[in-house]
């Protein structure tokens, strides 16, 4: 028996990194102001760590658009695997050449990942564990995370290129 309503539990879980960062920053601020010597220095460090958690937490929270979509996403050893009800597949993050957001897909918007051989993998933004894609996308060379989060929030009417591999030049 749970004393927390399911909606409240879901909201707390969605904002977990932000709440952790806020707690660390508050504890660190208390120690930095009320203590002296080593504890004040530790408090200052906790304030900085809490601020980093807050920043990363806000970005991750903006990436989580919901749950209950079809399929499950698994990221393991730089391999993205999508187990969908009708289709699925695996794509290597090292072979990615393009990441697109297709908001016109029904019933949920999808991430369209394309590898070097032209194989595409469509993953609903609301699939189970789709939030694991944030770390994969953030690790891509040259991606503009703020642009990705803005496009996800504004829900454009057509497919949007979020990231593409920089063109390789010989000289």
> Burial code of 75-107, b = ≥16 C-beta within 10 A, e = fewer?
eeeeebebebeeeebebebeebebbbbebeeee
Residue with tokens 């927390």: 4
End-to-end Cα, the chain, rounded Å: 65
Alpha helices for 64-170 (secondary structure H):
133-138, 145-154
**Sequence-separated (6 or more) residues with CB below 8 Å from residue 146:** none
**C-alpha–C-alpha distance, residues 135 and 105, integer Å:** 23
pLDDT at 64: 82
At 76 the three-state DSSP class reads strand
pLDDT at 23: 97
Indicate the pLDDT class of residue 1, thresholds 50, 70 and 90: low
Residue 135 has pLDDT above 60, yes or no: yes
Tokens (6 digits) for 14 = 């969605």
Mean pLDDT of 132-142: 92
Residue 114 dihedral angles phi and psi, to the nearest 5°: -120, 135
pLDDT at 171: 66
pTM: 0.76
The pLDDT tens digits of the residues spanning 2-44 come to 788 988 888 888 899 999 999 999 999 999 999 999 999 999 9
Residue 97 has pLDDT above 80, yes or no: yes
- Per the model's pLDDT, the better-predicted residue between 114 and 157 turns out to be 114
- Across the chain, mean pLDDT equals 90
> 60: number of CA atoms within 13 Å, CB side?
21
Residue with tokens 């995370």: 145
pLDDT at 104: 83
> 141: number of CA atoms within 13 Å, CB side?
9
- Per the model's pLDDT, the better-predicted residue between 62 and 36 turns out to be 36
47: left (phi over 0), alpha (psi -120 to 50) or beta: alpha
pLDDT at 37: 95
Q: What totals of helices (H) and strands (E) does the chain contain, helices first?
A: 5, 7
Tokens (6 digits) for 157 = 């009417």
């Amino acid at each position: 028996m749970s004393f927390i309503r399911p909606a409240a539990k879901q909201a707390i879980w969605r904002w977990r990194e932000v709440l952790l960062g806020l707690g660390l920053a508050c504890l660190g601020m208390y120690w930095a102001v009320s203590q002296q010597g080593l504890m004040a220095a530790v408090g200052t460090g906790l304030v900085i760590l809490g601020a980093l958690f807050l920043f990363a937490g806000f970005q991750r929270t903006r990436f989580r658009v919901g749950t209950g979509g079809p399929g499950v996403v698994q990221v393991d050893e730089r391999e993205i695997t999508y187990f969908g009800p009708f289709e699925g597949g695996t794509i290597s993050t090292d072979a990615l050449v393009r990441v697109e957001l297709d908001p016109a897909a029904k019933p949920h918007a999808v991430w369209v990942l394309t590898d070097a051989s032209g194989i595409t993998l469509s993953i609903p933004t609301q699939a189970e564990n789709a939030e694991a894609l944030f770390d994969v996308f953030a690790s891509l060379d040259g991606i503009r995370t703020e642009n990705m989060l803005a496009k996800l929030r504004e829900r454009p009417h057509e497919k949007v290129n979020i990231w593409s591999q920089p063109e390789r030049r010989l000289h």
